[in-house]
Amino acid sequence: VIPENTEKFISFSECVSGKIFLRFIDSFRFMASSLDQLVKNLSPNQFHHISKFFSSS
């Protein structure tokens, strides 16, 4: 169970190995639009991080 905080979105944080701090945010509640709609607003050249890890095929 993940509690809702005072900012009205669900999130939790985790420190890994005392060095890396990760924060997980429920993007559906955090963003004004759906993630699908936000991605559709991007042009292909704005996916440079995706293209580094995933081929276009």
Q: What is the pLDDT of residues 30-41, one digit of tens each?
A: 667 777 888 898
User: Two tokens at 5?
Assistant: 């905080």
Question: According to the model, what pLDDT value does residue 14 have?
Answer: 82
Residue ranges per structural domain of the chain: 28-56
Per-residue pLDDT of the chain (57 residues; tens, 9 = 90+): 555 656 666 777 888 888 888 887 776 666 677 778 888 988 988 888 887 887 765
> pTM, whole model, 2 decimals?
0.37
Maximum Cα interatomic distance, the chain, rounded to a whole number of Å: 43
Question: According to the model, what pLDDT value does residue 6 have?
Answer: 62
Does residue 23 contact residue 5 with C-beta atoms inside 8 Å?
Answer: no
First to last CA, the chain: 38
